[in-house]
Amino acid sequence: MRFGVIGSGSWATALAKIITDKKQPVNWWVRNAETIAFFMKKSHNPHYLSSARFDTSLLHLSTDVREVVRNSDVLVIAIPSAYAASSLAGLATEDWKGKKVISAIKGLLPEKNILLNYYMQQEFGLGLEDYFAVLGPCHAEEVAEEKLSYLTFSGIDTTTAARMAEHFRTDYINTVVNHDILGVQYAAVLKNIYALGAGIAHGLDYGDNFLSVYIANAADEMAVFLRQFGAEHITVGEHEGEDPLTHRKTPNYAASVYLGDLLVTCYSLHSRNRRFGNMIGRGYTVKSAELEMNMVAEGYNAARCIHLINQSLQAPIPIAETIYKILWEEVKAAEGFKNIEEVLV
């Protein structure tokens, strides 16, 4: 498999590091020519994860996204969801023929409130059988430090998903295969909203006791939403046998890609959504928090996307709806969390 990476932020850099640590070359789309020049001279990304060093002989960097797609069999798309459509706009349907796509996007495309797989199908005719997702729980910063992490590869074609996962398995990365391709992606969207709320709670000076109750209720709320979307294996403690090769239990809602990713995003100091929410809780406006972070917090746009989707779905998700109102309807954070206090059980 020839791998290509589209994007040059922290998550894209972490994934490219994993690929090249396996001594595999990578075609890598980087928007800025100056960044490429620095990269090849200093062997690290000048803007993200500067501690992650690369063997530059394995890097084929280009500002031409079409060139990267043409020279790759598997494209890892790791750009903020808000910029996905514009980043891929120069490509055509024929560019994607015979390609496999791994989405590393943890959000909905805000222009249409859809997951990347729907966009790829609508714009380029890419079938779901050629689409996969890679998810955590896994912070880019810990990948750079080579701390043991887990990646979940999800797709309806689990045989191919497992083959892809092997290319990412290292001494510091364990991999898991999952076939709930829509459920895991919606879980990744929702956990960013709840993590942003966890940050707001911290900024409002709630303690760990409250946060544990908040996260437990967020997990329950997320399961309700996913079940209405048709996600499978929601019940904790129930498994459909085991994998015949690895002898692992089949994944369910207690698996790392669901609850694990929610927990680490809510608690970790590496979480940009938690950091963004903390600023909101301390009184920052959305705009001032964005300017200070100079990074995209996926939970911000995700809150609005899920709110719009839920207008027709009508799932009972009062926590997510309250966070939406704080971010988008100027409800004061303290007032919103007083309302959240009343729905926690």
**Given a cut of 70, is residue 245 above it in pLDDT?**
no
Give the span between the Cα atoms of 3 and 165, in whole angstroms: 12
Sorting pLDDT into bands at 50, 70 and 90, what band is 217? very high
Asked whether 195 and 299 are in contact (CB, 8 A), the reply is yes
Mean pLDDT across 174-181:
91
Q: How many CA atoms lie within 13 A of 13 on its CB side?
A: 25
* Cα–Cα distance, 255 to 226 (Å, whole number): 14
Q: Is 306 left (phi over 0), alpha (psi -120 to 50) or beta?
A: alpha
Range of the domain at 79: 3-179
Among the ranges given (13-17, 78-82, 194-198, 318-322), the one the predictor scored with the smallest mean pLDDT? 78-82
72 and 137 share a domain? yes
Query: Between residues 150 and 242, which one has the greater pLDDT?
Result: 150
At residue 258, the pLDDT reads: 87
pLDDT above 70 covers what percent of the chain?
A: 95
pLDDT score recorded for residue 330: 93
Q: What is the structure's pLDDT at 233? A: 65
pLDDT in tens, 271-294: 999 999 999 999 999 999 988 887
Nearest partner of 7 among 95, 106, 92, judged by Cα: 106
Closest to 79 measured CA to CA, from 48, 57, 55:
48
The confidence band for 59, taking pLDDT boundaries of 50, 70 and 90, is very high
Instruction: Give residues with Cβ within 8 angstroms of 84, minimum separation 6.
Output: 77, 105, 109, 116, 119
Which CATH number does the domain housing residue 140 bear? 3.40.50.720
**Predicted confidence (pLDDT) at residue 235 exceeds the cutoff of 90:** no
Structure letter (DSSP) for residue 249: B
> Same domain, yes or no, for 204 and 159?
no
Mean pLDDT score, 174-199: 94
Give the per-residue pLDDT at 294.
78
Q: Is the dihedral of CA 278, 283, 289, 292 positive or negative?
A: negative
The CA-CA-CA angle for residues 65, 5, 34, to 5°, reads 65
The pLDDT value recorded for residue 232 is 64
Q: Cα angle vertex 77, ends 171, 54, to 5°?
A: 45
The stretch 43-69 carries a mean pLDDT of: 95
Residue range 123-158, pLDDT digits in tens = 999 999 999 999 989 999 999 999 999 999 999 999
Average model confidence (pLDDT) for the chain?
93
Tell me the CATH number at 195: 1.10.1040.10
pLDDT number for residue 295: 74
Is 26 in a helix, a strand, or coil? Answer: strand
Give the domain-ending residue among 117, 148, 179.
179
* pLDDT band of 169, cuts 50, 70, 90: very high
Structurally, how many domains does the chain consist of? Answer: 2
Q: Where is the domain boundary, 179, 205, 228?
A: 179
Residues 154 and 258 in one domain: no
The per-residue pLDDT for range 77-102, each reduced to its tens digit, is 999 999 999 999 989 999 999 999 99
Residues 222 and 76 in one domain: no
The phi, psi pair for 16, rounded to 5°, reads: -65, -35
The pTM (predicted TM-score) of the whole model is 0.91
Residues 320-326 have a mean pLDDT of 98
Q: Which of 114, 149, 179 is the C-terminal boundary of a domain? A: 179
Pick from 21, 87, 112: nearest CA to 103: 87
The answer to whether the CB of 300 falls within 8 A of the CB of 320 is: no
Using the predicted structure, report yes or no on whether residue 42 has a pLDDT greater than 90: yes
Give the pLDDT band (50/70/90) at residue 4: very high
Beta carbons of 336 and 323 less than 8 angstroms apart? yes
| Confidence check: pLDDT of 72 > 90 | yes
Residue 140 shares a structural domain with residue 198? no
Are residue 312 and residue 330 in the same domain, yes or no?
yes
> Hey, what are 203's tokens?
């900024």
Distance CA 280, CA 204 (A): 9
Which pLDDT belongs to residue 89?
92
Half-sphere exposure of 184 (CA within 13 A, CB side): 30
